[in-house]
Each structure stands twice: as C-alpha cells, then as structure tokens.
Structure 1
Amino acid sequence: MAEEKDAAEALVTDLQKKITDAFDVFDHESNKTVDVREIGTIIRSLGCCPTEGELHEMLAEMEEEEPTGYIRFDKFLPTMTKVLLERRYRPISDDIILRAFEVLDENKKGYLTRDELVKYMTEEGEPFTQEEMEEMISAAVDPDKNIVPYKDYAAMMVIDD
C-alpha cells in the first residue's frame, strides 16, 4: 500500500511541476498570475483539449468572485492537477481524426481542398477563430497544390503521451 501511495504522490508532484512550468512561461510579471486569455494555451500545452464551452467552465471555476482578467496560480494549480489526474479533455486518436476527414472527403480523393477546409471550419460545429483557422491552414495545406493531404495531417494532430 505504501508503494502505491508513494507512486501517487510522485505522479502528483510530477504533474504539479509540469503545470507550474507551463504557467510560469505566461506569468510575464512573475507575480503568480496570467492573463485569462492565455489559460487556454497553457491548458492545451499540457495535452488537454477542452472545447470552448469546457474551457469557459474551467475559467469560471478558477476566476475570483470579481473577474479581474487574470487567473491566479493558487487557483489554477488545484484545478489543473485534478483535470490531469482524471485524464479529462484527452485528445482524440489519429484514426478518429482520419475517419472525420474521410467523411468530409465525399469523393474519396484522399485530400480536401483549401476552400473545403475553410468551409468546414467556418460552417460546421464550433466555429474556429480567424487566428485558429490561419494556424491550421498554414500547418495543414500543401502550399504548392493548395490541398490538405489529410492522412499525413491526421498523424501530425495527435499529441503523444
């Protein structure tokens, strides 16, 4: 039993170090607070992929009674530790991503055009911001052919544990 307890404590210590390191990157004033707009980036850098709705729920949990536009480390650490221990907001696997692209590729070409990708990103599901869309296009679209060879891209999108 003691070994299990030690292993659990070591896991928590390791997770909290990762969380602290990720938070510190964005703590520009070194005052244990970060801009609320940076929290999504920090959370995603820790391998979690919450939806915008889930992110807003987490922020509501971490924010003070009076939102200041900043999140304090002492609120972020326990929330994020719990999220990571419970393995919440895990990224999906590349075969599921691949199947999603195949569904969108109605003619089974093996790629989507840049225009098709933009259309799906703006008209279906949770819309992407302009910045997210540009980031995805620059990563996914082959600039010479103006297409997304999605088999290669699906593998790139997966975060390895």
Structure 2
Amino acid sequence: MTMAAQNRRQLLTGDAACAAGAAIVAGGAALASEASGAALDRSGWVAAMRQWEAAEAEAQADDERYQRLRDSWIATGDNSAECRQRFGIDAAATQSNRTDDAAADALSRLLDIPAPDADALAWKIHHLFKPDHGDFAGAFAFSHIKQTLADAVRLAGGTPSGMLA
C-alpha cells in the first residue's frame, strides 16, 4: 500500500475519544443552532458526502487489488520487468494512486463545504482531529480548519471575527 493510501486509511479511522469530543462540541453547537436558526440546507453536503464515500470505496478496492497483485508478484521472487508486466503491478499501482488522489480530492471538497448542521460539524471535527500516527492529529490544509472553525462559530450562533472573518 502506498504511503498516501496508508495516510488516507489512517485519517479514515479514528478513536472513540475523538468521536466523543466531536459529539460534545457538536451537541453544544446543535442547541445553539436550533436557537439561532443557523443550520443550512443539507443537499450540497449530502451530495459531496456521497461522492466522497463512492471515491473512498473505489480507492479501497484498488488499494486491495494492488496489494494482492504485489503480494503474488513478490512471492514469485522474480523481480524482472517481464514479471512485473505479467502481474500488472505498475498499472495497478498507477490506478491505485489515481483513485487515492480522487478520494483525497473528494474529501477536501467535502471539508471545504460549510457544515449545514451539528452532525456535519461533528463529522468534520472527527476527521480533522483524530490521531493518525500515534498521538498526532492528521495534517490538513488550513482552509479545512478555518472552514470548520467558522462552522462551529456559525452553528453556535456567533459571528466570525479575526482570522475567521
């Protein structure tokens, strides 16, 4: 599995503590958003979520296919170009990288969409701040963090200020 695929896989698995923290924050935001009416239409979020889920499923299938081919090829002990070609290693790796990139792009688009409600905010917090390597949170573009913070402020009934404005 490529490093990008491993990183992506780790970003997509999280621990219960992170999920619980996200639920607590989102729960408070939900109460505030109900009072302030700050929730948005979910249709764009739902469409982007479906696109990410489909891209993620395709990437996972391609990653697994590549790994199976690679394991079979390595088992032969033949490192020749002809053997690599016969197993389709390079083509499978290229396809796996392509679908990994598509899934990462779909995730990026999803994170850039304003969270329409507390459930979406909790999902974003969970994906942005769950550990990926030991005790470290994943690295995301500042735009994703900024949008998520703006979502939290909006859903809590506040107005963005400073760096969020």
- Fold conserved between structures, TM > 0.5: no
More helix by share: 2
TM-score by length of 1: 0.31
Given the two structures, how large is their TM-score scaled by the length of structure 2?
A: 0.31
Which is bigger in relative contact order (C-alpha 8 A, separation at least 6)? 2
